[in-house]
Amino acid sequence: MTASDLDAIQRVKAGDIDAFAVLVDRYHDRLMRYAMHLLQNRADAEEVVQETFVRAYRALPRYEEREQMSAWLLRILVNRCRTAAARRRTFEPLEAADFEFEPGEDVSERLATRDELARAVAQLPDDQREALALRFGEDLSFDEMAALTGAGVSALKMRVKRAVDRLRMLMEGTRAAV
């Protein structure tokens, strides 16, 4: 919990709705990162992220300050993504303009890699995609993932391993077909 998070939360609770923008500014893009990994569709991702913030606002009186705001929001988002995954639409990745690039970076190569990764991740089962996004995208430990998802550590390790193995197979299959 950062000091500014706490300040914003207290202001919102006191009736200053504009203070909620501090939290949106801080966490929106990070939540979009996770939602895009899970849903692979920009419109769907924006929808669940918006739902996440609205639900967070609604639940703010029950928010426990000992928990990191980022973790709390991510927990809401994970559940929203699980619901949204059932009605997921077609593959629609983010565009080049949605990312920043390093000076001198090969944008074409980078986008090709991103597109290849997104298409491969989209082929994973929902539980493996979720585990992969939490492990690699959010950089969570397996204990943190277990607390967030309700799954056991062993099961999560297996999901990540199977996801990586599956991606590796997909990559090899793609190259063999070229």
Partner 1 sequence: MLPSDDRLPDTLHREMRRTPHLGAIARARVMSAVRREAQRPRRAGWISPLLGTALAASLTIAVAGGVWLRAGGEGAALAPGAHVLARGSSIRDTLLLVRFAFTAPAAARVALVGDFNDWGTQRTALARGADGVWVADVAMARGRHRYAYVVDDTGWVTDAPALDTLPGGRRATRLDLVNPQ
- Which of residues 54, 68, 143, 152 is near partner 1 by CB under 8 A? 54
Q: How many residues sit close enough to partner 1 to count as binding (CB under 8 A)?
A: 53
Q: Residue 135 CA to chain centroid, in angstroms?
A: 10
CB of 168 to partner 1, least distance (A): 5
Draw the binding track, 68-107, toward partner 1 (x: CB under 8 A; -: no contact).
Answer: --------------------------x---xxx-------
Is 41 strand, coil or helix? strand
Taking each continuous run of H as one helix and of E as one strand, the counts in the chain are 8, 0
CA distance 3 to 79: 27
The correct pick among 75, 88, 92, 117 for binding partner 1 (CB under 8 A) is 117
Backbone angles phi, psi at 92, to 5 degrees: -150, 90
Q: Is 12 helix (H, G, I), strand (E, B) or coil?
A: helix
- Which parts of 7-26 interact with partner 1 (CB under 8 A)? 10, 13-17, 20-21, 24-25
Rounded to an integer, what is the distance from CA 91 to the centroid of its chain?
16
SS3 for 92?
Answer: strand
Does residue 153 interact with partner 1 by CB under 8 A?
no
> Which of 57-65, 79-87, 147-155 is the region at the interface with partner 1 (rule: CB under 8 A)?
57-65
In angstroms, give the least distance from the CB of 114 to partner 1: 6
Residues 54, 19: Cα–Cα separation, whole Å: 14
Helical H runs in 40-62? 42-59
Q: List contacts with partner 1 (CB under 8 A).
A: 10, 13-17, 20-21, 24-25, 28-30, 32-33, 36-37, 46, 49-50, 53-54, 57-59, 61-66, 94, 98-100, 109, 112-114, 116-117, 120, 132-133, 136-137, 139, 164, 167-168, 171-172, 175
